[in-house]
Structure 1
Amino acid sequence: MKRKWTILLSGLGMVIVAAIAGASLYFYNYAFVPSHKTFLSSTTEPAVRKAQAWLKTVPKETWHEQAAGANLRLVADWVPASHDTPKTIVVAHGYMNTKEDMARQIKFFHEAGFNVLAPDDRGHGQSQGNYIGYGYADRLDYLKWLQQVIRRVGPTSQIGLYGVSMGGATVMYLSGEKLPKQVVSIVEDCGYTSIMDELAAQGQALFSLPRYPLIPAVALTASLKAHYNVFAASTILALNHNTRPLLFIHGAKDAFVPTSMVHREYAADHSEKKLWIVPKAGHAQSLKLQPNRYQHRVVGWFNAHWR
């Protein structure tokens, strides 16, 4: 009888392990493989469409870079200021977005007199890649983009980092790296605390799934298939090492990246910092709801910290 129970339990354990493995592979493809995502809006706001039309006509260059530690060709738009300036903003786009989706921000940075570099991350837009780096793999690529800016503008260049959603996480991850001295300040808008936290939040919101045991299994699958350590991807840990002035922005009604995350990020950062919670704003909607105030605060933050 004892042997039968052992066989039964062993078989049940194998079924559970197989089920978790199958589910983790499904959610890896759902969350990490670039493709159309039904849970994301497919509509483009009129203000963004107008800015995208402007971006097609403004003088710009196409830059290329090889991804850090990977044989992937990356693409970026370089939009020089109308007049020579040492000041450049590097913008980081969101999950399943492209550099063109940042056109509205590129335009107001350009109008403020700054150069702008807008990359397509791995697996997005014109850049190569069959996985999403969630900003953590991409942070090392941005270090290479920063060196391109310095080579182009010169050693006296001054650089600001700006990102929204996954891009917000990207610039927070960057804040924990050994940044070149030319990087002077950062603005992040609605970035998440970690890849695992964001997967858990979406698993709960979309499928009512608990964090354990699925999310660690998905993280392991992603780490093996995409070749970067998903478990180590924490903006909290990165912010502990940040030394640049950082403006945090988050919508008060953000359900995609829960607003509670920004309070943890703000507490983890020990640099000069400021937090702006935008009333009634959902995920990445702060600019849409308060365009004039948003532009004034973001551009003002960078202007206050140029050397």
Structure 2
Amino acid sequence: MLGIGTASAILASEYLFKFAFKRVDYVPETSADKQKYAKSYWNYVNWFKNISKEHWTFSIDGEDETMSAYFIAANTDSKKVVIISHGYKGNGETMANYAKMFYDMGYNILLPDDRGHGESAGKYISFGWLDRLDYLKWIDKIIDRIGNDAKIVLFGVSMGAATVEMLSGERLPSQIKCLIADCGYSSIYEELTYLLKRQFHLPRYPFYPLVSTINRRRLGYYLDDVSSVEQLKKNKLPIFFIHGEKDDYVPSYMALENYRATTAPKELWIVEGASHAESYWINPEKYKEHIENYLAKYYV
């Protein structure tokens, strides 16, 4: 019976790994609570599709395919740049509303597709961990294009926020001025064990350790390595945390964990009534105002 139970746990863990980590070549429908924003969302997507942009790529080791991003030049001569990191199972296009917000503020914009997403290479989703290394290459490309006097903001939502948070612990060039992380998770351990219980009604053990071992074999690292908190402890740059009060996908207590881990200049805005990744949509003008107020202090 013990052998049958072990085999069942391994099979279930393989299913869970594929469910969570295998790339999906389409963008899933948004949650029911955000369907009311669909018309506005598609207006932003149409703006993205129609605006002049450049397709940037680079190759990654061991892959025949390339990483993909789209660059939108500012509408005036500008050294201001924002690199926008998308959420889980999204792509750069799904961040069109944020791109338009920054474009209207005079920024050049880079919208990467992360590993296992969109037009980028990768069989599996790395939840920001390998992506943080890819973003170092995107940053180099931005500096080559804009110049050494480029002023770069790193901005992300959901998994993209965690990507920015994890990137914050790396050695970043002086052109990176500040960070904005909207509803990022504190670690994969916290996020997956939370979702195991909420979505699948499963305990942490034995499933999380087994999924972590599968990830080590497929992607080269254990899931305990994937921690925004540990990376933020090394961060030296100003960072603005945004999180929805009613987020039941990445609970708002994770924003507090990330905030407490950070010793650099920091601000936190818990958005009343907002669910996961809804903070912008509830009141776009207020969201933009908060971003502008933060940048007025730290984007120097």
TM-score bracket relative to the smaller structure? over 0.9
Q: What residue number does 1:177 align with?
A: 170
Unpaired segments ≥5 residues, structure 2:
none
Per-residue CA deviations over 1:92-149 (Å, capped at 9, x if unaligned) read 0000001110000000100000100000011111112110010111000001000000
Give the root-mean-square deviation of aligned CA atoms: 1.8
Residues 50-129 of structure 1 correspond to what in structure 2 (within 5 A)?
A: 50-67=43-60, 71-129=64-122
Matched, 1:214 2:203: no
Q: What residue number does 1:270 align with?
A: 263
Q: What residue number does 2:31 align with?
A: 41
The Cα of 1:200 is off from its aligned counterpart by: 1.0
Q: What residue number does 1:30 align with?
A: 19
The Cα of 1:218 is off from its aligned counterpart by: 0.8
Query: Structure 2: how far apart are the matches of 1:183 and 1:109?
Result: 16
The Cα of 1:73 is off from its aligned counterpart by: 0.6
Q: Is the 8 A contact 1:137 1:228 kept in 2?
A: no
Q: Secondary structure at the match of 1:167?
A: helix
Q: What residue number does 1:283 align with?
A: 276
Range with greater deviation from structure 2 (81-90 or 215-224): 215-224
The Cα of 1:209 is off from its aligned counterpart by: 1.0
Range with greater deviation from structure 2 (231-240 or 35-44): 35-44
The share of aligned pairs that are identical, in percent, is 38
Query: Structure 1: how far apart are the matches of 2:280 and 2:187?
Result: 23
Relative distance call for 1:78 and 1:303 in structure 2 (3 A) is farther
Range with greater deviation from structure 2 (67-76 or 272-281): 67-76
Query: What is the TM-score when the length of structure 2 is the normalising length?
Result: 0.94
Matched, 1:21 2:10: yes
Relative distance call for 1:68 and 1:194 in structure 2 (3 A) is farther
Higher Rg of the two aligned structures? 1
Per-residue CA deviations over 1:261-307 (Å, capped at 9, x if unaligned) read 11111000000000000011000000011211111112332343232
Query: What is the TM-score when the length of structure 1 is the normalising length?
Result: 0.92
In the alignment of these two chains, the number of paired residues is: 296
The Cα of 1:32 is off from its aligned counterpart by: 0.4
Query: Structure 1: how far apart are the matches of 2:234 and 2:51?
Result: 37
The Cα of 1:172 is off from its aligned counterpart by: 0.1
Q: Secondary structure at the match of 1:100?
A: helix
Q: Secondary structure at the match of 1:90?
A: strand
The Cα of 1:18 is off from its aligned counterpart by: 1.4
Q: Residue type of the partner of 1:124?
A: H
Query: Structure 1: how far apart are the matches of 2:299 and 2:47?
Result: 27
Unpaired segments ≥5 residues, structure 1:
1-11
Per-residue CA deviations over 1:60-113 (Å, capped at 9, x if unaligned) read 111102236755411101001011111100000000001110000000100000
Q: Is the 8 A contact 2:17 2:214 kept in 1?
A: yes
Q: Is the 8 A contact 1:169 1:191 kept in 2?
A: yes
Q: Is the 8 A contact 2:27 2:90 kept in 1?
A: no
Query: Structure 1: how far apart are the matches of 2:125 and 2:185?
Result: 15
